[in-house]
Amino acid sequence: SLNQSEDNVLVRLPIGRVPESYAYVVEFKIGSQFHPVKLLMDTGSSLIWTQCEPCIQCYPQKVPIYDSRTSTSYSKLPCTHELCQGENNRFRCYNNECVYNIQYGATSRRNSPRTKGVASFEAFQFPVDTVHTTVINDMIFGCSNDNPNIDFANGQISGILGLSRGPDGL
């Protein structure tokens, strides 16, 4: 489970659709500054990630890119964490950071969409109704600052909500 606490939390995700596309998205807020994110639902991957400043290579998005430096609830996943250990081929320790490099689509293509960043913890705030929210602290997510060859729906999408079974997914 990605939640650090022992509590099981039921969250109803607010699902929407990107106009003029077949993309389904979930909108919620992250961090102590309640930064809005709009993530593409992806049943073929497990990592939850959003673009993060400072960018090496980020694609254009309509809402400002999340900046972990402004959030007091943000922290990096330590290299000693179980996700960064072993032979999982997704996360590895580099310069004392637990980093990832994920390629989407045909892996033999040199210009395939890819995301790179730092595995991190952050507070996720999901709407319950028009007034109330549920906050889940210390969710594991990818803070992606290098996203070559990604083009999402005219800037409507800030990252991916991985929904497949995996230790780094919902």
d(CA 15, CA 166): 21
Domains and CATH numbers, the chain: 15-162 (2.40.70.10)
d(CA 87, CA 111): 26
By DSSP bridging, strand 159-162 and strand 15-17 are: unpaired
Residues of the chain with pLDDT under 70: 1-12, 14, 17, 19-20, 88-89, 106-109, 153, 166-170
d(CA 165, CA 145): 24
pLDDT tens track for 151-165: 776 788 999 999 887
The predicted structure's pLDDT at residue 156: 85
Amino acid (1-letter code) at residue 163: L
pLDDT tens track for 140-152: 999 999 998 887 7
pTM of the full structure: 0.86
By DSSP bridging, strand 66-67 and strand 48-53 are: parallel
5: left (phi over 0), alpha (psi -120 to 50) or beta: beta
Instruction: Indicate the Cα dihedral angle 82, 84, 88, 91, nearest 10°.
Output: 150
The predicted structure's pLDDT at residue 4: 45
